[in-house]
Amino acid sequence: MFENDKNELHEHLVTINRVAKVVKGGRRFGFAAIMIVGDNKGRVGIGTGKAKEVPEAVRKATENAKSKMIRVHLKENRTIHHDVVGRFGAGKVILRAAAPGTGIIAGGPMRALFESIGIKDVVAKSTGTSNPHNMLKATLNAFKISESPKSVAAKRSKKITDITNSKIG
């Protein structure tokens, strides 16, 4: 899919979980991994993989993440365009655009996701669950909901300056 940029993708291991399958003779142990792959320029993917050995689970998760990459619209290559709420399962995340110099104010897996995308200033709050799967998928849901001023202007048949300078209320 993105053959020429494979060398500039950054990988973050979020979690490795030991899972067990109960069989007649006892338990068979395996490993489940969650990986984040991003290019620090607005593209990111989240993948999961399971295997009997940790390195194989990580490799599967990385390949899965590369195949599911999405584009995130960034404002000034440092933050999101507007505040947005994402939901997945019991997870709910609130993402807020932040002023320059704020940094990434987010916990756990969301921080790794923002770093992989290339977001430098954002405030994020997660409620409902601390499960990394649901937190990451809720954050991706929020990115899919968010729109750039360019796309909003095209939908409304207006100029971008009309969208960015308009006051709500």
Helix ranges, the chain (H):
54-67, 108-117, 132-145, 149-156, 160-165
Q: What is the pLDDT of residues 45-63, one digit of tens each?
A: 999 999 999 999 999 999 9
On whether the CB atoms of residues 115 and 12 are closer than 8 A, the answer is yes
Write down the pLDDT at residue 68: 92
Per-residue pLDDT, 1 = 46
Ordered by where they begin, the domains of the chain are 3-71 (3.30.160.20), 84-163 (3.30.230.10)
In this prediction, residue 166 carries a pLDDT of 57
The pLDDT value given to residue 37: 95
Query: Which ranges of the chain have pLDDT less than 50?
Result: 1-5, 169
Report the Cα 79 to chain-centroid distance in Å.
14
- pLDDT score for 151: 78
Give the largest Cα separation in the chain, rounded.
68
Residue pLDDT, tens place only, 10-19? 899 999 999 9
pLDDT at residue 5, as a whole number: 47
* pTM as predicted: 0.84
Q: What is the pLDDT of residue 60?
A: 96
End-to-end CA distance of the chain: 44
Would you list the DSSP string of 71-91? E---BTTTB-SS-EEEEETTE
